[in-house]
Amino acid sequence: MNTRHLAIAIGILAFTLAIAVLGNVLTLGVGSWAIILVGVLTLLVALNTLTRRHGVRDHGTTPDPEHRYRVPAPGAELTDAVDQFRSRRNDLFVPSNRIHAGLREAAIAALTRFQGLTPAAANERVEDGSWTDDPYAAAFLSPSVDPPERSLRERVTDRFVRDVSFRDSVRRTGAAVAAIGYTGLGDGAPDRSESRIATYERDDTEEDEPVPRTTQTPVDGVVERSSRRTGHWFGVGVVALIAISIGTFTESAAVVMAGAVGIAYAGFGHAMEAPTPDISIERTLSEETPEPGDEIGVEVTITNESSRPLPDLRFVDGVPPGLAVSEGTARLGTALRPGESVTLEYTVAARRGRHVFDPALVFTRDLSRSSEKEFLVGSPTSITCEPVLRPITTSVPLRATAATFSGRLTTPEGGSGTQFHSVREYRKNDPLNRIDWNRHARTGELATLEFHEERAARVLVLVDARKANYLAPEPDAAHAVDRSVAAAGRIAATLLEDGDTVGLAAIGPLDKREEDGDDGPVEQCWLGPSSGHHHRAQFQNLLATHPQFSTLAPPKSRRWTPQLEQIYRRLSSDTQIILLTPLCDRVSSDIVQWLDARGYAVTVVSPDPTTDRTTGNQLARVARRIRRFDLQRTGVPVVDWPADQSIDEAFARINAGSGVSSRSGSTAGSTAGTDSRSDAGATTGSGAGTGTEAGGSP
Amino acid sequence: MTTDELTRRPALISSAIAAGGAVLAVVAGGYASPVGLGFGIAGAAFLALGFVRGTNSAIDFGSLLLFGGVLVGGYEGGSVELALLGTVGAVVAWDLGQSAIDLGEQLGREAETTRLEAVHVASSVIVGLLAVTVGYTMYVFAADGQPVAAVALLLAAAGLVTIGLGVRYRRSGELRRGGSQYP
C-alpha cells in the first residue's frame, strides 16, 4: 500500500459519495468554502507537477541502417598521423612531446625525400628555421628560433583557452610539412591561408555520425530490447485539473466541462500497455547473387501472426551495413489487424561481398501512444555479391621472374620464343627453325637465333586486409580493402587469361564480421597458384565470401607475422607476389620488406585512400608518399592507384610511364641471366631518386 | 550511392490534422472573446513554430495557450458546447503535434506512415468526441441545482485519481525507461 493506492482509494470513495449526494441518498452539510479549499489544493498539486514536466518525454531513437558502414580517412587523428613519421616508438608518453618529435622527424623526412637534402643538411635547416617560410612553424620545431610576436588577442585567448597556440603551431607546422611533401603533385600545395582545423583525437563530431546498424548481435525471432513510458499524455490531467479549479472558483460551467474533457484524455493515456508483437518478417530479394553495382529490390513483408491488432507499429529494417539504400526508405509506420500483412519496398545498391541483413528494429505503442516497447526481429537473409573477374584492359606490371612453364611472360633469358634476343654460335642439336638461314646464305656460317624465353608467371595476389587498412577518403566511399579486393579479382582475371598461374592469400584478422549460420573456425585465406575454370570460380567465390575480405572492419587487429610465415611456408620461391596495400602505416612497408628479404619478387599495388581535408589527413598523405618512395628506392615497384581512377588507368599509366611493359620486351638491352629484379624497379626507382612522381603522368 | 539524409521532420498528415484542431480551438476560444482570440492566435503561432522547428516544447506551450484561449472564451461567452469542442481541438493539436514530431524523428518523412497516422487521428478524435458526449449529457441532465458538496467531492475524486495515476507514472517512468540505444 503506498501513496498511489491510497490516493486512488480515497478518490474512488469521494466519487461514490458525490454520486450519493447527487442521487439524494446522502446529504452533507458543507458550504462553498469546501469547494475553494479543494480547488486551491488541486491547483497547488497541479502546478507542482507541471514544473516537473520537463524531460519526462521519451521515445526510442532509430539508427540509420540505410547508410553504409563508415570508415575513417587516413590521418583522422593527428597524433597517429604524426606518429607514422617517428622512427622509434614508446619512448615519449606525453602527447605534446610525441607530436613535437614526430613533426620534427616528418619535416626531416620530407626534406630528405623531396628536396634532395642529406639528413644532416635537413637537420640543420630545421635547426635554423630556414626549412619553411612560416615563422610559427619554424619556431615550433627549433628552440633557437623565436616565434614572431603574437597579437594581443591571441595572447589573451591563450591565457584562457588551453593549448590554443600549441594547436595553432601544430597545425601550421603540419601544413608546412605537407607543403614540402606535396611538391611535384599536380594538384598543388594545400592553401595555408585557409584555416584547416586539425583534429587531435577522434572528437565529438563522431557522436553525430549515423549508426549504420540496428544491432551487432544476431537475433532469433522477436526479442524485446526495452520498454518505456513515452510521457505522451503527461500533463494533460494536471492542466485539466487547473481548468476545473478555475471553473469552480468562477462558477463557470463551460470552463469546468473543458477541464472534464481533459480528464478523459488523461484516463485514455493511462489505460493501455504497448503490446508485444507476434510478427514475422519475410524478405524477398529481386536477385540473390547480383553483380557489384546492380540495384537489388528488397521486398519486406511484415505479418501480424497474433490474434490481437497492433495499433502502432514502427519498423526499421536492418539493411546490411555494407550496403546503402539507393531508392526508397527502409522504414514503415503502420497498424496491423490480426493476420494482416504489409509490404515495404526499397532498393539497395549491391557491393562486393557477403551481406547479411541485421535484425529489424520494431517499436510498438499502445493506442494512446503513452507506452512504447522496442523489439529486434531476426530474419536471416543474405546477399552474396561476387566480384566480376573482368580482365584489365592493359597488362599487369609483373616483375620478370618466371616459372618453368611456357607462357607469355617475356623473360630476360634467351631461348625459344617470338621476340629477338641475340645471335650465338651454332651448337649441335640446335633446332633447325632457329638457325639463321639468311646468314648462312650470305656467309656460309651457321648461327642460331636466340629469342626471349616466354614463360608463365606464377603470381600470388596478396591482399593486405589488416584493420588499419580500412580507410577511405570519404566515410562511406569504397575503402582501401574493398578496392584491393576488387583489384585482386581483376588482376587475377588478367593473368589467368594470359595463361599465368595465380594464387590468392590475405593478411588480416580472421574474425567473422557477419553472423552466419556456420560456426566453424576461419582459416587464413589461401588458394595456391593454379589455373583453369574451377580455380577461377574458387578465386571469385573466396573474394566474395572469405571473412578476411569482409567489407566490415574487424573488431581488433591481430599479429601479422604468423600469417606471413604461413604464406612463406606454402609458397615456392619462384612465385612473385602482387601485394595490394594502401601503404598507410608502418607495418605495410614492413610486410613488403619482410617478403623482399625472403627473395620474393614483390610488386606493390597501392590504392590511395588519403585526402587533404585536415592537417592530419595531409600528413598521412605525405607519410604514405614517403613510404612509397622508400620502397621504390629499395627496388620494389609501387603502382600508385588514386581514388578517382580505375585500376586500368593506374596500370596503363605505369606501363606507359616506364616506357615498356614487362610483356613487351622491357628487358631489351639487359643481357641474359641478369638479376631478374631489373626493369620496373629500376625505372621507377630512378624516377624516385630525382624527386619526381614515380610513374608520373607521361 | 547513399540516399540523402533522412528528413527527420514532423510527419505531414498528423501535422495537418493538428493544424485543423488548432483552428477549431482558435475559433471556439475567439468566437465570443477577443482575449480568447488573442490567446488562440498566439498559441497557433507557437504550434506553427513547433512544426517548423520540430520542437516539442513549442507544441506544448502553443497548445497550452490554445487551451487558455478556450477557457477564456468559455468563461466570457459561457457556451459549454464551444468550450467542449475547443478543448478537443486543442488536445488534438497537442497530441498529433507530438506524434508527428516523434514519427518524424523515428521514421522520417520519406517513410510510408499513412495507416499509422490514420489510427492516431482516429483514436485522438474519437476519445475527444466520446468525452464531449458523456460530459455534455451529464451537463444537460444535471445542469442546475447540483449540491455544492457533490461538486466538491467530484473535484476531490478527480484530483486524487489523477495524482494516483501520476505517481504510478513517475515511478514507472524512472524504473522502466529503457536507455536510448543510438545517439
Domains in chain B: boundaries: 12-144, 145-177
Quote the DSSP letter at residue A568.
H
Q: Is A673 exposed, middle or buried (0-12, 13-18, 19+ CB in 10 A)?
A: exposed
* Min distance A510 CA to chain B CA atoms (Å): 28
Rounded Cα distance between A682 and A364, Å, is 67
Tens of pLDDT along B157-175? 776 776 666 544 444 433 3
Inspect the interface and report whether the beta carbons of B158 and A241 lie closer than 8 Å. yes
Inspect the interface and report whether the beta carbons of A264 and B1 lie closer than 8 Å. no
Q: Find the residue in B nearest to A24 (Cα).
A: B147
Q: Which of A19, A61, A261 to mutate to test the interface with B (most CBs of B within 10 A)?
A: A261
Rounded Cα distance between A65 and A46, Å, is 43
C-alpha cell read off for A614:
585536415
With cut-offs at 50, 70 and 90, classify the pLDDT of residue A303. Answer: very high
Q: Find the residue in B nearest to A37 (Cα).
A: B152
Predicted local confidence at residue A158, as pLDDT:
63
Tens of pLDDT along A674-690? 333 333 333 333 333 33
Predicted local confidence at residue A18, as pLDDT:
74
Rounded Cα distance between A190 and A176, Å, is 9
Q: Assess if residue A171 is contained within a domain.
A: yes
Predicted local confidence at residue A87, as pLDDT:
65
Interchain CB contact of A271 with B (< 8 Å): no
Interchain CB contact of B108 with A (< 8 Å): yes
Same domain, yes or no: A344 and A426? no
Interchain CB contact of B17 with A (< 8 Å): no
Chain A residues inside the 8 Å CB shell of B82: 254
DSSP string, A573-605: TT-EEEEE----SHHHHHHHHHHHHTT--EEEE
The alpha carbon dihedral of A533, A537, A542, A544 has a sign of positive
Q: Which B residues in the span 81-100 are in contact with A, Cβ-Cβ below 8 Å? A: 82-84, 86-88, 91, 94-95, 98-99
Tens of pLDDT along A590-645? 899 899 888 888 999 999 998 877 778 888 888 898 888 889 888 888 999 988 88
Instruction: Indicate the helix (H) or strand (E) that contains A45.
Output: helix A32-51
Chain B residues inside the 8 Å CB shell of A4: 164-165, 167-168, 171
**Amino acid at the residue A493:** A
Tens of pLDDT along A178-236? 888 766 554 444 444 444 444 444 443 444 567 778 887 778 888 888 888 888 888 88
Q: Find the residue in B nearest to A213 (Cα).
A: B182
Predicted local confidence at residue A581, as pLDDT:
93
Same domain, yes or no: A425 and A466? no
β-pairing, A576-580 vs A447-455, is: unpaired
* Min distance B121 CA to chain A CA atoms (Å): 11
* Min distance A671 CA to chain B CA atoms (Å): 52
> What contacts A605, CB < 8 A, 6 or more positions away?
A484, A487, A491, A578, A579, A580, A638, A639, A641, A647, A650
Q: What proportion of chain A, given as a percentage, has pLDDT over 70?
A: 76
More confident residue, B17 or A10: B17
**Amino acid at the residue A23:** G
User: Which stretch, A58-72, A403-417, A664-678, B62-76, has highest mean pLDDT?
Assistant: B62-76
Average pLDDT over residues A424-449: 85
The number of domains in chain A is 4
Q: Is B6 exposed, middle or buried (0-12, 13-18, 19+ CB in 10 A)?
A: buried
Tens of pLDDT along B101-133? 989 988 888 888 999 999 999 999 999 999 899
Inspect the interface and report whether the beta carbons of A22 and B159 lie closer than 8 Å. no
Q: Which of A10, A231, A238 sits opposite B173 (nearest CB)?
A: A231
Which residue range(s) make up the domain with A281?
A: 275-385
Same domain, yes or no: A467 and A539? yes
DSSP string, A476-519: TS--HHHHHHHHHHHHHHHHHHTT-EEEEEEES-----S--S--
**What are the backbone dihedrals phi and psi of residue A322, each rounded to the nearest 5 degrees, phi first?**
-80, -5
Q: Is A400 exposed, middle or buried (0-12, 13-18, 19+ CB in 10 A)?
A: buried
Same domain, yes or no: A443 and A470? no
Same domain, yes or no: A308 and A443? no
Q: Assess if residue A224 is contained within a domain.
A: no
Predicted local confidence at residue A663, as pLDDT:
40
Predicted local confidence at residue A150, as pLDDT:
67
Q: Are A582 and A606 in contact (CB under 8 A)?
A: yes
C-alpha cell read off for A493:
582475371
**Amino acid at the residue A530:** S
Predicted local confidence at residue A21, as pLDDT:
72
Quote the DSSP letter at residue A371.
E
For residue A589, pLDDT over 50 is answered with: yes
Q: Which A residues in the span 316-375 are in contact with B, Cβ-Cβ below 8 Å? A: 316, 324-329, 331-335, 342, 344, 349, 363, 367-369, 374
For residue A262, pLDDT over 60 is answered with: yes
Predicted local confidence at residue A133, as pLDDT:
78
Same domain, yes or no: A85 and A188? yes
Interchain CB contact of B149 with A (< 8 Å): yes
Average pLDDT over residues A406-413: 63
Inspect the interface and report whether the beta carbons of B106 and A349 lie closer than 8 Å. no
C-alpha cell read off for A399:
616483375
User: Which stretch, A187-201, A281-295, B15-29, has highest mean pLDDT?
Assistant: B15-29
Inspect the interface and report whether the beta carbons of A314 and B116 lie closer than 8 Å. yes
Which of B28, B26, B20 lies closest to B51 in space, CA to CA? Answer: B20
Q: Which of B108, B132, B177 sits opposite A229 (nearest CB)?
A: B177
| Among candidate residues A401, A428, A455, the one where a domain is terminated | A455
Same domain, yes or no: A568 and A489? yes
Same domain, yes or no: A288 and A367? yes
Same domain, yes or no: A470 and A571? yes
SS3 B47: helix
Tens of pLDDT along A539-563? 998 888 888 888 888 887 778 888 8
For residue A320, pLDDT over 60 is answered with: yes
Which long-range contacts (C-beta less than 8 Å, at least 24 apart) are formed by A164-170?
A166/A96, A167/A198, A167/A200, A168/A136, A169/A136, A169/A137, A169/A139, A169/A140, A170/A78, A170/A99, A170/A103, A170/A140, A170/A198, A170/A615
* Min distance A653 CA to chain B CA atoms (Å): 28
Same domain, yes or no: A604 and A680? yes
Predicted local confidence at residue B164, as pLDDT:
66
Q: Which of A45, A230, A248 sits opposite B163 (nearest CB)?
A: A45
Predicted local confidence at residue A457, as pLDDT:
79
Same domain, yes or no: A672 and A615? yes
Inspect the interface and report whether the beta carbons of A325 and B87 lie closer than 8 Å. no
Inspect the interface and report whether the beta carbons of A22 and B87 lie closer than 8 Å. no
With cut-offs at 50, 70 and 90, classify the pLDDT of residue B38. Answer: very high
Predicted local confidence at residue A684, as pLDDT:
37
Inspect the interface and report whether the beta carbons of A27 and B150 lie closer than 8 Å. no
Inspect the interface and report whether the beta carbons of B179 and A368 lie closer than 8 Å. no
β-pairing, A331-336 vs A358-365, is: unpaired
Predicted local confidence at residue B117, as pLDDT:
93
For A46, A301, B171, the CA distances from A5, given in Å and listed in that order, are 19, 45, 13
ipTM above 0.90, yes or no: no
Q: Assess if residue A590 is contained within a domain.
A: yes
Chain A residues inside the 8 Å CB shell of B146: 22
Predicted local confidence at residue A575, as pLDDT:
85
With cut-offs at 50, 70 and 90, classify the pLDDT of residue A672. Answer: very low
Chain A residues inside the 8 Å CB shell of B180: 60-61
**Amino acid at the residue B160:** L
* Min distance B115 CA to chain A CA atoms (Å): 5
- Which of A96-100, A169-173, A380-384, A458-462 shows the lowest mean pLDDT across its residues? A96-100
User: Which stretch, A81-85, A101-105, A308-312, has highest mean pLDDT?
Assistant: A308-312
Average pLDDT over residues A393-399: 82
SS3 A245: helix
Q: Which of A237, A245, A265 sits opposite B166 (nearest CB)?
A: A237
Interchain CB contact of A66 with B (< 8 Å): yes
Same domain, yes or no: A377 and A285? yes
Residue with cell 457556451: B79
